[in-house]
Structure 1
Amino acid sequence: MNFKRTLYLTHRWFGIVMSMIFFLWFASGIVMLYVEYPELTERERVNAASLLELKAINTSFSDIQDQILSESAINQLDLLSLLGRPAYKLTFADNSKTIIYADNGNTLKDIQPSDAEKIATLYAQNSDPTSQNNAPEYLASIEMDQWTVYGGFNEHRPLHKVGLNNTKGTILYISSSTGEVLRDTHSYERMWNWVGSTIHWIYPMQLRKHSNLWVNVVIVISIAG
């Protein structure tokens, strides 16, 4: 009789706890229907891109081949504008990347905080001309935070975090190796995602940065439910 009562009580209170988790999952899912996880969309990236100064290209790809130290084959070659200068971005078979300026053939070593501020300024001016009076503010160099925990950013870490000081509360995350703007977040997105995706995916950065542990937690809670 005591065993049965213990079983009933355990099942009852365990069910109550799990029901609270299911409610949070359901409610956070509704939030996610209306507010997506922060990301830099292709449209945003194109709208914020600087014009490519073709006349400034003084170095051809054949001129820089001797500078390429990687033994991997080149999978992709992009011509882009970085800090207002034309540049080649070489992506190798091992997914490593090298940036070489097309105006003088120099290889980009890394992006400094002052460079990140300039990149953010150009981004703001191109994407929203009305914000040109707002000077971007360099916030920090970070390995990751709640919005950049995704493993695809690993090759770009540490990331430069720069605020645009606009009405949307926009923050940019800029690669320290290539100078690319990888992600933008707005205060509206950040606020709602704390009660949306972070709860729904059990996605706090402190847990999610340990990928295997995060996966096991999700599996165990699912089985328990």
Structure 2
Amino acid sequence: MKKQQLHKFLAKTHKWIGLVLGLQVLAWTVGGVVMSWIPIDTVRGTHNVEEHAPVALPNVEGLLPLGDLASQEKGQIQQATYMTLLGHPVVRLVHLGGEVTLVDAGSGELLSPIDEQVARQIADADFKPDVPIASSTLLDAHTIDYRGPLPVWQVTFADEDTTSIYVSPAEGRVLARRSATWRLYDFFWMLHIMDYDERENFNNPLIMTFAFSAALFTLSGLGLVFFRFYRRDFNWLLGRRKRL
């Protein structure tokens, strides 16, 4: 390939790759600014989590022995842990199949799945701002906001950031916190990693292709730089060498 043809080929390649990459590079840059500007605690909603003092289990002697729970569940329990739920003693049971259930630590009564009223109480106890609950819904499918275990209670508050807290019906614990700030961050995170579906895969083929294209763009640019230099550009260097 002649020098002039190579020059035209590099120029055309550089131009078209630059056109394709331009918007994505802009998204990477703007996304980087947004993600570095917003504190990660604000994104995760941990700054609005209500802090509760540790609660001791009341009347330990009256708690149901774990051995009795194992016999009631036909010995299929992998793990049993005493804890409190809204200040009430419960036992968290992990079964061999991975299923998690809650039982009353005093009576052994099955508490899960928790109902809507309890889910609202758990979310309200977790959320520090004193604002009313706008709605509560049991989700059985993933949404843009939530992609964790299902089903899940979505409890949404009437605050300015439209905060939603997701509570597990099986375990009675908060699984996720979402807000308008989180959604903004998540949008730019999606653009940044170019995973427009799950928004979690940083090693997807699309971003690999663009990264490879960016490398070609840089190489073709370096090739064009070569054609922008002439012998006279180095006269000062050659003259210096002659003087030496």
* Fold shared, TM-score > 0.5 on shorter chain: yes
CA drift at 1:172: 0.3
Contact residue 117 and residue 136 of structure 1 kept, 8 A:
no
Q: Deviations over 1:7-52 (max 9, x none)?
A: 74344122221132122112201211122384365x8667158845
* Aligned-residue RMSD, C-alpha: 3.5
Give the 5 Å matches for 1:146-185: 146-149=144-147, 153-154=148-149, 157-185=150-178
Indicate yes or no: 2:197 matched with 1:202.
no
Indicate which of 29, 48, 51 corresponds to 1:47: 51
For 1:33, the equivalent position in structure 2 comes to: 36
Q: Deviations over 1:98-132 (max 9, x none)?
A: 322212112234133333223223333xx34xx1x
- Summarize the Cα distance change of 1:223–1:92 in structure 2 as closer, same or farther, 3 Å threshold: farther
For 2:223, the equivalent position in structure 1 comes to: none
- Summarize the Cα distance change of 1:72–1:211 in structure 2 as closer, same or farther, 3 Å threshold: farther
For 1:62, the equivalent position in structure 2 comes to: 67
- Summarize the Cα distance change of 1:91–1:140 in structure 2 as closer, same or farther, 3 Å threshold: closer
Letter in 1 for 2:65: S
Contact residue 153 and residue 166 of structure 2 kept, 8 A:
yes
Aligned length: 207
CA drift at 1:59: 1.5
The share of aligned pairs that are identical, in percent, is 18
Contact residue 121 and residue 136 of structure 1 kept, 8 A:
no
- Summarize the Cα distance change of 1:48–1:24 in structure 2 as closer, same or farther, 3 Å threshold: farther
For 2:136, the equivalent position in structure 1 comes to: 138
Aligned-partner Cα distance in 1 for 2:171–2:118: 11
- Summarize the Cα distance change of 1:68–1:143 in structure 2 as closer, same or farther, 3 Å threshold: same
For 1:223, the equivalent position in structure 2 comes to: 212
Aligned-partner Cα distance in 1 for 2:143–2:66: 37
Aligned-partner Cα distance in 1 for 2:13–2:48: 52
Contact residue 49 and residue 123 of structure 1 kept, 8 A:
no
Aligned-partner Cα distance in 2 for 1:176–1:87: 14
Q: Deviations over 1:32-88 (max 9, x none)?
A: 1122384365x86671588455248532322212133574643xx433222442211
Corresponding residue SS for 2:183: helix
What residue ranges of structure 1 are gaps of 5+ in the alignment? none
For 2:103, the equivalent position in structure 1 comes to: 100
Corresponding residue SS for 1:182: strand
- Greater C-alpha radius of gyration: 2
Letter in 1 for 2:69: I
Aligned-partner Cα distance in 2 for 1:199–1:85: 44
Which TM-score applies when normalising by structure 1?
0.71
Which TM-score applies when normalising by structure 2?
0.67
Letter in 2 for 1:208: E
